[in-house]
Amino acid sequence: MSLKEPSRPSLYLVMDERGRAIERLYRERYVGFRNAVATVSGGYDGARDAVQEGFARAYRARAQFRGDGSLEGWVWRIVLRAALEQRRGQAELPLDEVEVDLVEPESDPVLAEALRELPPRRRLVVFLRYFADLPYATIAEVCEIDEGTVAATLAQARAALAQRLIEEGVQP
Amino acid sequence: MMELQDDLLAPRFAALAYPVDDSDWREVVGRARSEPWMRRHQRLVFALALIVAAGVLVAAAFATGIAGRFSAWVSGAPGIPAPPGLQQGFETRNRAAYASFPAGTKLRLLLSRRVSGTTFSLLGFRNGDAYCLRLVRADHPNAIGRNECLRAEELTGVPALVTGDVWFSVGKPAKNINGVYGFAADNVRAVVVKRLRGRDTVPVLNNVFLSLRGARAGSVQNHPLPNPVVAVEALLRNGKFENVPYVTNGGGVLPGGARPAGPSYFAPPTQSAIPGPSKVTAPIAHPTISWLKKHEPRGKPLPNIRFSNPAFGRVIQPDPDDPVRIGIAVGAKGALCDYYFTPLAPTTWGGGCGPWFQFGPINLGSWFNSPIEHFNGFVADGITHVTAFLASGRVVQAALRDNVFAVAVSATELPGRLVGYDARNRVAGIVEVPGNSVIKSCPKPTFTKPVSQLPAPEPWEKINLATLTVNGQHILGMTPQQVEAALGKPTVIRGNAQITNGVAIPEFRYGGALPSTLGLSIGFSKKGDRIFANSLSYQSPSLVDAKLGHVLRMQPAALEQAIKRTYGTTLRVFISYGSNPGFGCTAVLKERSAPSGISIGLDPYRPSRPYLDIRANAYG
């Protein structure tokens, strides 16, 4: 009588584990996803649709996640792609070329002005950092840029805002 | 990489973040499971479809071409059962309504939206073979709301259909909330609602969508600039966009919101575009409704109608699957009267009396412009069926009972022709129903007299667009006496151009007596006891601006550019000349620091005299 070899985890179990991870990410980070994506969609309704659709696609394709980056970064790219599909003719645009803006710039005109001094394609970095609270590494992974570029962009945004505040007579 | 703790940007973004958590994991899983499963198991789906198609309901869906396109509805249970409050509110309203739905109708909650602090619920239900939507404020569940029913045929051939455009006033200070709602097919992921300024992308749930936007209500003196829906598009699940027909302001369609290349306006359509018979082949000599004249008690009794005292009347429901009822009556002086009872309204929604069959054996009653148009009226004895021929090419049978007909069609398919046939299928009567305007280019004004031959400007013809003054004086806000002292005696004073609360409000005309020849018309308004000037409408070719010269001898588009260049720091363009056909051949520029502004343009039917208006409200 020979001992049976321990069987490898089935694809089903792997998928189930990933499914739970995606669900956990959704439940814990939904608001951050939606608020950051709103800068791509141009509004919160569109952002909600993109997040729902993006997570649905990620959940559906979870077996295809190869694990060569973080699961969160992978889901972010899918969600942002779903948001870009809402913008006619931009579905195939590289994520680091996407022009985004605050949904309600009139709510903080000083910040809006400061952000406008950044190259449009770098604003997504700022929104991912401050609306979604993503670490530099994940932002770099999502936008497919260096971590150094992420840090430089955020420093530039901070400097621009500080300058604006000084011009407005506010101590930064 | 070391990450900075940022106490400068982080708090500002935190203040901007939208905190509401409207997540729904079940919806994510539902989206994930729907389409790919269908793709992976196409054969199985096909086999199942064949089995299920045996069912009467689904067979009907296939017959109308909507099977697999509106699956949430074909399955019979879209959304979730309506919460008790919404269900009971509907039942209360339904019991009190004259045009009611069948008792026991069960509503389902399809989606909810919260706008400006108010939650709106979109509910759905089947009524016979009609699909019905009810939009109501969640905190006013027994209000009339908006109720619209349509048959599956209306949903064929379109990715989505706007079934209602709505307006609500909520809160204190009041906010106006307006938008659109309707049906969308399974392959539609979201609906993009384009407005004059901005756009909203709203998700599709349970085959319906709802887009609402709130704005401050303003006041008569300072009302907000309009921001109508100009077009609707469907974002398909494959990432492509498809136009959703929508009749925008001005009564025309802008496919996909694409603006015309040049300045444009909406003009009436040519009638030749309407299909169907155009000649009556079997006229009815003396059209009448004999049962009404004999006072036969058909249908149901006519309820008490305010401001009207018909000698005899009844209420007919032509279509058992549509709660719309039509009152038909013989008026006090023998006239033929019609009354429209809209769904869930406690009494009539409108109507009137007139001569019997004045324009032939079809008497078209009143209707109210909406995305789904409800045409109704009476036909004379001898007409056995009524058919609607639509510009879209579709042909729809109207419901007809006891000489009363009713038919509901999408406004996007108009204009149309209602044709009444006799028992031998001969054309006994035709009525044309107006429809969507067509886009035409704004004409260019042609000037016969060169500027050098124009008379020198009078004091009232000297304006300064930087300050919106006339001859150096702020006319807006002046009393009639002050205006006369500033600009001289008008050519004509129309003492009671309008009556407001019993008070006559004048109009001053300078440089001519008739609307077609005058140079300046000054309109007045009333606030409290005070009457003051609130608009100056110029057509005078001699009008001169301090910097731009003879402004009404310039092409309007060129004038707009010149104003932008010269006065851009004080005036900003709200509507560029002819950019939105719904507003006509006009441009609106608003003062940056005040509600006042100007509009320039021309009447396309009288292009020789362009105009320039200075208004207390830029768009008022």
Helices A147-167 & B9-16 angle (0-180, nearest 10): 80
Based on the number of CB atoms within 10 Å of its own CB, is B521 exposed (0-12), middle (13-18) or buried (19 or more)?
Answer: buried
Within the 64-83 window of chain A, which residues sit less than 8 Å (CB to CB) from chain B?
none
The type of residue at B70 is F
Among candidates B209, B607, B202, B234, which has minimal Cα distance to B444?
B607
Q: How confident is the model at residue B332 (pLDDT cuts 50, 70, 90)?
A: confident
Q: What is the DSSP string of B391-448?
A: TTS-EEEPEEETTEEEEEEEGGG-SEEEEEEETTS-EEEEEEE---BEEEEPPPP--S
Q: Average pLDDT of B271-291?
A: 89
| Alpha carbon separation from B385 to A81, B128, B153, B419 (Å, rounded) | 53, 21, 19, 8
DSSP reduced 3-state for A29 = helix
pLDDT in tens, B481-529: 999 999 999 999 998 888 777 788 999 999 998 888 899 999 999 888 8
- Tell me if A52 and B200 make a contact (CB, 8 A cut-off): no
**B19 contacts chain A (CB < 8 A):** yes
Among candidates B410, B416, B387, B411, which has minimal Cα distance to B151?
B410
State the nearest Cα–Cα gap between B486 and chain A, in angstroms. 41
Helix (H) or strand (E) holding B486: helix B480-487
What are the b/e assignments for B265-288, b being 16+ CB within 10 Å? bbbebeeeebebeeebebebeebb
pLDDT reading at B2 higher than 60: no
Q: Average pLDDT of B91-111?
A: 92
State the nearest Cα–Cα gap between B577 and chain A, in angstroms. 26
**Nearest chain B alpha carbon to A43:** B200
- Tell me if B17 and A126 make a contact (CB, 8 A cut-off): no
Instruction: Work out the angle at residue B249's Cα, subtended by the Cα atoms of residues B244 and B253, and round it to the nearest 5 degrees.
Output: 35
- Tell me if B18 and A44 make a contact (CB, 8 A cut-off): yes
pLDDT reading at B256 higher than 50: yes
CA distance B390 to B276: 8
Q: What percent of chain A has pLDDT over 90?
A: 24
pLDDT reading at B323 higher than 80: yes
Ranking A87-91, B140-144, B573-577 by mean pLDDT, the lowest is A87-91
The reported pLDDT for the residue numbered B389 is 95
The full set of domain ranges for chain A reads 11-167
pLDDT reading at B58 higher than 50: no
**Nearest chain B alpha carbon to A146:** B1
Within the 150-189 window of chain B, which residues sit less than 8 Å (CB to CB) from chain A?
189
Ranking A23-37, B251-265, B514-528, B559-573 by mean pLDDT, the lowest is B251-265
**B193 contacts chain A (CB < 8 A):** no
CA distance B143 to B116: 19
DSSP reduced 3-state for B258 = coil
Within its chain, how far is the Cα of B518 from the centroid?
33
- Tell me if B28 and A107 make a contact (CB, 8 A cut-off): no
Q: How confident is the model at residue B45 (pLDDT cuts 50, 70, 90)?
A: very low
State the nearest Cα–Cα gap between A7 and chain B, in angstroms. 28
Among candidates B393, B386, B340, B392, which has minimal Cα distance to B360?
B386
pLDDT reading at B103 higher than 60: yes
Over its C-alpha atoms, chain A yields an Rg (Å, rounded) of 19
Helix (H) or strand (E) holding A33: helix A11-41
The type of residue at B493 is I
The reported pLDDT for the residue numbered B57 is 44
Cis peptide before B173 (omega within 30 of 0): yes
Q: How confident is the model at residue B309 (pLDDT cuts 50, 70, 90)?
A: confident
Report domain A11-167's class: mainly alpha
Cβ atoms within 10 Å of B57's Cβ, excluding its own = 13
The reported pLDDT for the residue numbered B127 is 87
Tally of CA atoms within 13 A in the half-sphere of B355 that contains its CB: 7
- Tell me if A27 and B27 make a contact (CB, 8 A cut-off): no
CA distance B70 to B157: 12
Tokens of A66: 């190869």
pLDDT in tens, B439-498: 899 999 888 888 889 999 999 999 999 999 999 999 999 999 999 999 999 999 998 888
Q: Average pLDDT of B350-374?
A: 85
- Please enumerate, as own/partner, the contacts of B556-564 that have beta carbons within 8 Å and a separation of 24 or more: B556/B263, B556/B442, B556/B445, B556/B585, B556/B586, B556/B587, B556/B600, B556/B601, B556/B602, B556/B610, B557/B263, B557/B587, B559/B600, B559/B612, B560/B587, B560/B589, B560/B600, B563/B465, B563/B589, B563/B598, B563/B600, B564/B589
**A87 contacts chain B (CB < 8 A):** no
pTM: 0.72
**B213 contacts chain A (CB < 8 A):** no
Q: How confident is the model at residue B124 (pLDDT cuts 50, 70, 90)?
A: very high
Q: How confident is the model at residue B37 (pLDDT cuts 50, 70, 90)?
A: very low
- Tell me if A111 and B211 make a contact (CB, 8 A cut-off): no
Task: Spell out the residues 6+ positions from residue A64 whose beta carbon is closer than 8 angstroms to its own.
Answer: none
The reported pLDDT for the residue numbered B272 is 65
Q: Which of B23, B24, B36 sits opposite A60 (nearest CB)?
A: B36
Chain A contacts of B27, Cβ < 8 Å? 52
User: What structural domains and CATH numbers belong to chain B?
Assistant: 69-259 (no CATH), 271-439 (2.60.40.10), 451-615 (2.60.460)
Cα pseudo-dihedral A151, A156, A161, A162, rounded to 10: 90
- Tell me if B31 and A111 make a contact (CB, 8 A cut-off): no
Q: Average pLDDT of B236-251?
A: 87
Chain A contacts of B201, Cβ < 8 Å? 41-43, 45-46, 49, 86
- Tell me if B200 and A46 make a contact (CB, 8 A cut-off): yes
Chain B contacts of A108, Cβ < 8 Å? 12, 15-16
State the nearest Cα–Cα gap between A100 and chain B, in angstroms. 14
CA distance B389 to B410: 12
CB B259 within 8 A of CB B580: yes
The reported pLDDT for the residue numbered A5 is 42
